[in-house]
Amino acid sequence: MERAHALDPALANRFKSLARIIGNTPLLGVEFRFRGEERVIYAKSEQINMTGSIKDRMALYILQRAYADGQIRAGDTIVEATSGNTGISFASLGRALGHPVTVFMPDWMSRERSDLIRSMGASIVPVGRAQGGFLGSIRMAEEFAARKKNVFSPCQFSNAANVEAHESTTGPELWWQLQSNSLVPDAFVAGVGTGGTIMGVGRFLRSRNPRVHIHPVEPAESPTLSTGHKLGEHRIQGISDEFVPSIVKLDELDEVVGVSDGDAILMAQKLAAALGLAVGISSGANFIGALKVQNDLGRDAVVATVFPDDNKKYLSTDLLREEPVQDGYLTPAVEFSGFHAFKRVCHTCCELSECTQRLGPGAI
Ligand code: PMP
């Protein structure tokens, strides 16, 4: 690794502006009745990040770190393998910071994803199943990076900075937002793509409350985490990408929760239709995963999750089609009644909704 160097002031200002439109998301307390019981599940509203997904946090943090460590220089090409949201985040941040971006992406991801990436001037290399699908995308991105000069590869599936992004932002925000309402999380639940969210938020929450349960979610139709390898197909884009990423440490996590993709679709549809929360399919999966964990821990358990993105990237998918209900689905038993949003602004040392100095609710 090269020596750290100071950022030029113009670039430092760009990073500062980007940091104001990424992260510090509101926490929603989603209220509902389930089999006659009044319940609440908490979800970070990650669809309101700059490009509409939680991956902006990781992309911003990795680029900041790469500049600080001298791993990236002005004008370098950013090259990444992604199932979509990461490509959109790097296309956007790359453009904002003056970097060309090349994305290797499986060719079965939604049309909206590739259109969005191209709209920000990035190049896409579509990778078919015959070329190795997701693993092929990663291999081809690595080969591209090895062949060319002046390339920066974020390597989201193996980069510890992906986990740190959530350990230093998403996790503390969630903790303080719950604390400011006199709540302590009993469990955090999230679908695993790279695993950055579950590992990073999990580590922060465990540092505050060692007894907190941390449950990864995977599609029941394609249980990669519980089997250790790719199995079957599923429709929850963004999670369970055919392998267990190296940043995922299953021995630090509690039991894997399986969620059917049809139930996830029905739940995402219901969140939009009943509450106006127009979220993506993995948000529906996360909500059902959180509900399953709450069913185990007790109706009053404080269970939190994330809504990773909104529904705009799925308008051409089954999310906008009628989904048949199957035995065992939980969505039909959920009746939403409303939600409350927590977002408090620090008036002491910064203007952000959650104090960047991590001074806690006393400073807010
Ligand atoms: N949901 C969606 C829609 C995503 O794009 C991703 C990221 N691939 C995730 C969930 C999972 O996030 P992570 O990579 O942090 O595990």
pLDDT in tens, the chain (364 residues): 444 567 889 999 999 999 999 999 999 999 999 999 999 999 999 999 999 999 999 999 999 999 999 999 999 999 999 878 999 999 999 999 999 999 999 998 888 889 999 999 999 999 999 999 889 999 999 999 999 999 999 999 999 999 999 999 999 999 989 988 899 999 999 999 999 999 999 999 999 999 999 999 999 999 999 998 888 999 999 999 889 999 999 999 999 999 999 999 999 999 999 999 999 999 999 999 999 999 999 999 999 999 999 999 999 999 999 999 999 999 999 999 999 998 865 555 555 555 555 544 444 4
Please state the pTM of the whole predicted model.
Answer: 0.94
Q: Among 92, 118, 152, identify where a domain stops.
A: 152
Give the pLDDT confidence score for residue 361 in this predicted structure: 46
Q: Give 231 Cα–ligand 1 centroid separation in angstroms.
A: 19
CA distance 126 to 141: 11
- Residue 53 covered by a domain: no
What DSSP state is assigned to residue 364?
A: -
| Catalytic status, residue 55 | yes
Whether residues 41 and 79 share a domain: the answer is no
SS3 243: coil
Q: How many domains does the chain have?
A: 2
Give the pLDDT confidence score for residue 180 in this predicted structure: 85
Q: Which residues on adjacent β-strands are paired with residue 103?
A: 80, 124
Whether residues 37 and 88 share a domain: the answer is no
Pocket test for ligand 1, best of 203, 249, 282, 287 (most atoms within 8 A of CB): 282
Whether residues 178 and 139 share a domain: the answer is no
Residue minimizing CA distance to atom 6 of ligand 1? 238
CA distance 43 to 174: 9
Atom of ligand 1 nearest to the CA of 313: 3
- Residue 325 covered by a domain: yes
Q: Give 198 Cα–ligand 1 centroid separation in angstroms.
A: 10
Whether residues 241 and 335 share a domain: the answer is yes
- Residue 362 covered by a domain: no
**Looking at beta carbons, which pairs linking 299-303 to residues 24 or more positions away fall under 8 Å?**
299/34, 299/37, 299/39, 301/186, 301/187, 302/42, 302/178, 302/183, 302/184, 302/185, 302/186, 302/187, 303/41, 303/42, 303/185, 303/186, 303/187, 303/188, 303/189
CA distance 303 to 257: 14
Q: Strand pairing of 27-34 and 37-45?
A: antiparallel
- Residue 318 covered by a domain: yes
Give the pLDDT confidence score for residue 84 in this predicted structure: 86
Q: Give 196 Cα–ligand 1 centroid separation in angstroms.
A: 8
Whether residues 33 and 103 share a domain: the answer is no
CA distance 81 to 60: 16
Among candidate residues 357, 330, 331, 334, the one with its CA nearest the CA of residue 346: 357
Whether residues 198 and 299 share a domain: the answer is yes
Task: Choose, from 89, 282, 283, 353, the residue flagged as catalytic.
Answer: 282
Task: Choose, from 44, 55, 292, 313, the residue flagged as catalytic.
Answer: 55
- Residue 363 covered by a domain: no
Q: Give 278 Cα–ligand 1 centroid separation in angstroms.
A: 17
Q: Give 147 Cα–ligand 1 centroid separation in angstroms.
A: 29
CA distance 184 to 171: 12
Residue minimizing CA distance to atom 12 of ligand 1? 193
Q: Among 124, 152, 180, identify where a domain stops.
A: 152
Atom of ligand 1 nearest to the CA of 192: 16
Atom of ligand 1 nearest to the CA of 82: 8
Residue minimizing CA distance to atom 10 of ligand 1? 238
- Residue 157 covered by a domain: no
- Residue 159 covered by a domain: no
Whether residues 232 and 345 share a domain: the answer is yes
Whether residues 232 and 331 share a domain: the answer is yes
- Residue 350 covered by a domain: yes
Whether residues 195 and 119 share a domain: the answer is no
CA distance 94 to 121: 9
Whether residues 253 and 119 share a domain: the answer is no
| Catalytic status, residue 149 | no
Q: Output the ligand 1 site: residues, CB below 6 A.
A: 53, 55, 83-85, 191-197, 238-239, 280, 282, 308-309
CATH number at residue 328: 3.40.50.1100
**What angle do the packed helices 55-68 and 85-97 form, to 10 degrees?**
40
What's the token pair of residue 75?
Answer: 């004008």
Pocket test for ligand 1, best of 53, 86, 244, 259 (most atoms within 8 A of CB): 53
Domain that holds residue 128: 72-152
